[in-house]
């Protein structure tokens, strides 16, 4: 019965095995013995799965149990289970904490800028790649623009810090050519977001275009052929054929992006920010990092992390539902 999903044409062994099983079921039917037979026959897949399940329990689910410290007065000596409950006190502290509110606002503002400038960039890039006829030129350009995606954030930050340095950096060298004074880009709050979002586009726009290029490759060529017959030019074809055809992909990617609004790449923030720029740069996860891992206020920081995770979860679930609904109605 358990093997019912295996039609096994010509598989003598399995059909022989199936018969006593069925008999067994009809005569001495008991759930226990059926389970016993199942595990006896299929134990190997459970052995294969066990390490992964244990790993998830130990490294991902056990920390979820540890999240209860967000509602506790946590002390290292008492441990997670024995620290006393204090209800929502940490959340009250959080929402009356200006720095935390600022971190939430900054997270949303940085994500909004990323969405506004970072989201269209790979689409425009993909549309442009699609217009290039010379295969080698296209391939070479693609190879280069995908590269920064594979570079670590420490190196990216190192490049940014070197390039924007007030004395040594190329950016201030160029500013100097125009006779202007050097700008302290990395210690002035108003420059953090443009630099951060710009770095993100430089690093990810190329790689992000792959998804849209794949969508463009899937457009029915006969649409273009009939457009040529009708005398359309490339610009018109891009607007009337390519963009409408990849619209479902664009919408799904947009929904995913919105779902990830709480996920600012905080590793890069930690590497690029400075106490002087916290005002615009500090996001929820960097705040959690400083409060928790640097100042040792584990319970309060865990509460902030929980808040972030719950908001992110709701956003992602909504996005998933929307994109599922959308991909069902879309044609591909």
Partner 1 sequence: MMNWNLYSRGDKFFAIVVSVLIGMFTVATLYPFIYIAAVSFSSGFAAQAGKVVLTPIDATLEAYGYIIKDPQFWISYRNTFIYTIGGTLMSLAFIIPGAYALSRRQLKGRRFLNLFVAFTMWFNAGLIPFFLNMRDLNLLDSMFGIILAFAVNAFNIILLRNFFEAIPQSFEEAARMDGANDFQVLWKVFIPLSKPAIATITLFCIVSRWNGFFWAMVLLQSEEKIPLQVFLRHTIANLSDNDEFAIVQTDAAFSAETVTAAIIVCSIIPVLIVYPFIQKYFEKGILLGGVKE
Q: Contacts with partner 1 in 149-178 (CB under 8 A)?
A: 150-155, 157-159, 161-163, 165-170, 172-173, 176
By C-beta, is 3 or 188 nearer to partner 1?
Answer: 3
- Supply the minimum distance, in Å, between the C-beta of residue 305 and partner 1: 3
- Supply the minimum distance, in Å, between the C-beta of residue 152 and partner 1: 3
Q: Are 129 and 213 in contact (CB under 8 A)?
A: yes
- Segment contacting partner 1 (CB under 8 A): 24-32, 49-57, 96-104, 112-120? 49-57
**HSE-CB for 143 with a 13 A CA cutoff:** 6
Of 311, 259, 258, 257, nearest in space to 284 by CA: 311
- Segment contacting partner 1 (CB under 8 A): 8-16, 82-90, 92-100, 103-111? 8-16
- Segment contacting partner 1 (CB under 8 A): 21-29, 104-112, 188-196, 225-233? 225-233
- 104, 123, 195, 301: which one contacts partner 1 (CB under 8 A)? 301
- 71, 100, 129, 196: which one contacts partner 1 (CB under 8 A)? 129
Told to check if 136 binds partner 1 by CB under 8 A, we report no
Q: List the interface residues with partner 1, window 234-293 (CB under 8 A).
A: 234-235, 267, 270-271, 274, 285, 288-289, 292-293
Q: Are 219 and 245 in contact (CB under 8 A)?
A: yes
- 86, 88, 128, 247: which one contacts partner 1 (CB under 8 A)? 128
- Supply the minimum distance, in Å, between the C-beta of residue 171 and partner 1: 9
- Segment contacting partner 1 (CB under 8 A): 15-23, 97-105, 112-120, 143-151? 143-151
Q: How far is CA 236 from CA 113, 165, 242, in A?
A: 29, 45, 9
By C-beta, is 108 or 141 nearer to partner 1?
Answer: 141
Neighbour-count burial for 239-274, b at 16+ CB within 10 Å, e otherwise: eebbeebbebbbebbbbebbbbbbbbbbbbbbbbbe
Handedness of CA 221, 223, 225, 228 (dihedral sign): negative
Non-local CB neighbours of 240 within 8 Å, separated by 6+ positions: 227, 232
Count of residues of this chain found to bind partner 1 when the rule CB under 8 A is applied: 112
How far apart, in whole angstroms, are the C-alpha atoms of residue 282 and residue 105? 9
- Segment contacting partner 1 (CB under 8 A): 18-26, 85-93, 94-102, 313-321? 313-321
Q: List the interface residues with partner 1, window 17-36 (CB under 8 A).
A: 35
- 103, 145, 216, 246: which one contacts partner 1 (CB under 8 A)? 145
Q: How far is CA 198 from CA 16, 41, 265, in A?
A: 66, 57, 13
Of 268, 308, 272, 274, nearest in space to 292 by CA: 308
Of 299, 153, 129, nearest in space to 216 by CA: 129
- 101, 116, 144, 180: which one contacts partner 1 (CB under 8 A)? 144
- Supply the minimum distance, in Å, between the C-beta of residue 30 and partner 1: 16
- Segment contacting partner 1 (CB under 8 A): 18-26, 62-70, 84-92, 110-118? 62-70
Q: List the interface residues with partner 1, window 82-111 (CB under 8 A).
A: none
Neighbour-count burial for 212-229, b at 16+ CB within 10 Å, e otherwise: bbebbeebeeeeeeebee
- 115, 210, 250, 258: which one contacts partner 1 (CB under 8 A)? 210
């Amino acid at each position: 019965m358990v093997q019912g999903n295996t039609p096994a044409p010509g598989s003598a062994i399995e059909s022989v095995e199936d018969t006593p099983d069925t008999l067994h079921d009809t005569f001495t039917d008991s759930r226990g013995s059926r389970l016993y037979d199942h595990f006896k026959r299929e134990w190997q897949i459970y052995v294969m799965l066990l390490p992964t399940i244990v790993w998830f329990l130990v490294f991902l689910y056990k920390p979820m149990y540890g999240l209860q410290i967000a509602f506790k007065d946590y002390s290292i000596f008492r441990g997670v289970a024995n620290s006393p409950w204090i209800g929502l006190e940490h959340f009250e502290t959080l929402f009356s904490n200006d720095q935390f509110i600022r971190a939430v606002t900054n997270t949303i503002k940085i994500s909004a800028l990323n969405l506004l400038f970072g989201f269209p960039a790979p689409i425009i890039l993909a549309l442009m790649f699609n217009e290039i006829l010379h295969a080698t030129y296209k391939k070479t350009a693609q190879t280069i623009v995908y590269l920064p995606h594979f570079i670590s954030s420490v190196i990216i930050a190192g490049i940014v810090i070197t390039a924007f340095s007030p004395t040594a950096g190329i950016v201030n060298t160029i500013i100097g050519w125009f006779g202007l004074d050097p700008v302290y880009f990395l210690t002035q709050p108003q420059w953090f977001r443009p630099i951060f979002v710009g770095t993100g586009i430089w690093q990810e726009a190329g790689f992000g275009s792959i998804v849209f290029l794949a969508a463009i490759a899937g457009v029915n060529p006969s649409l273009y052929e009939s457009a040529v017959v009708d005398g359309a030019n490339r610009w018109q074809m891009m607007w009337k054929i390519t963009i409408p055809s990849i619209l479902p992909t664009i919408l799904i990617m947009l929904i995913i992006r919105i779902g990830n609004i709480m996920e600012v790449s905080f590793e890069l923030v930690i590497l690029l920010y400075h106490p002087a720029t916290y005002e615009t740069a500090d996001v929820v996860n960097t705040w959690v990092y400083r409060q928790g891992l640097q100042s040792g206020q584990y319970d309060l920081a865990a509460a902030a992390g929980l808040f972030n995770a719950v908001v992110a979860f709701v956003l992602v679930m909504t996005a998933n539902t929307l994109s599922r609904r959308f991909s069902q109605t879309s044609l591909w």
